[in-house]
Amino acid sequence: MKLYHQENKIFFQQELVIHTSVSKVWQLLTTTEGLAKWFPELDAEHLTEKNVLTFKADGFKAEMDVLAYDKPTYFKLMWDSGEISFRLKENIPNETNLDFLEILPDSFPNLYQDIAGWHYELRRLKGAAEGKEVIFTADCIKQKAEEMRRMMEEQRKLDK
């Protein structure tokens, strides 16, 4: 995991090795059925026709524009005022390397909670791909968010 600050933006990178095929991971990222297994608030119903992914939670709904769609290896979309991307590469048969990148402006609401949320959602994606259930709580996200906030404070002190 890498977390760093550059030009008024926060960059969060995470790399995972997932023990399944690239095509299975791609299906989990780009179909409503796949997303339901690890991030049920996302919906890919209009992905191909409108080039958007829909986020729905607690009465809130937002459409996120797809910025890149290179089946089955690269998927990038707007995430509110930021962006996220997934790059897939087959290491060996049935072993996929997933590189996740989130870029958010410093002003992003609940910045560290969002990043911490992705930290855990990616674990859930890996679990769904490998047939394992991954459970985390809101407290896990809060603790991880605070850890990441402290990491960035320390990094900014060192950068000065």
Asked if residue 160 has pLDDT above 80, the reply is no
The single residue listed with the structure tokens 């939670």 is 57
pLDDT of res. 3:
94
User: Of 17, 27, 22, 20, which is closest to residue 94 (Cα–Cα)?
Assistant: 20
Distance CA 80, CA 113 (A): 14
Q: Summarize pLDDT for 68-113 with one digit per residue, the tens.
A: 999 999 999 999 999 999 999 999 999 999 999 999 999 999 999 9
| Domains of the chain with CATH codes | 2-159 (3.30.530.20)
Per-residue pLDDT at 125? 98
Q: What does the pLDDT look like over 7-50, one tens digit per residue?
A: 999 999 999 999 999 999 999 999 999 999 999 999 999 998 89
pLDDT value at residue 53: 95
Q: Would you state the pLDDT for residue 155? A: 85
Give the pLDDT confidence of 112-132 residue by residue, as tens digits.
999 999 999 999 999 999 999
Q: What is the pLDDT of residue 159?
A: 76
Minimum mean pLDDT among 131-135, 137-141, 155-159: which range?
155-159
Q: Please answer whether residues 124 and 136 qualify as being in contact, where contact means their C-beta atoms are separated by less than 8 angstroms.
A: yes
Rounded to 10 deg, the angle between the 111-130 and 22-30 helix axes is 130
- Residue 105: what are its φ and ψ, rounded to 5°? -70, 155
Across the range 52-72, mean pLDDT stands at 94
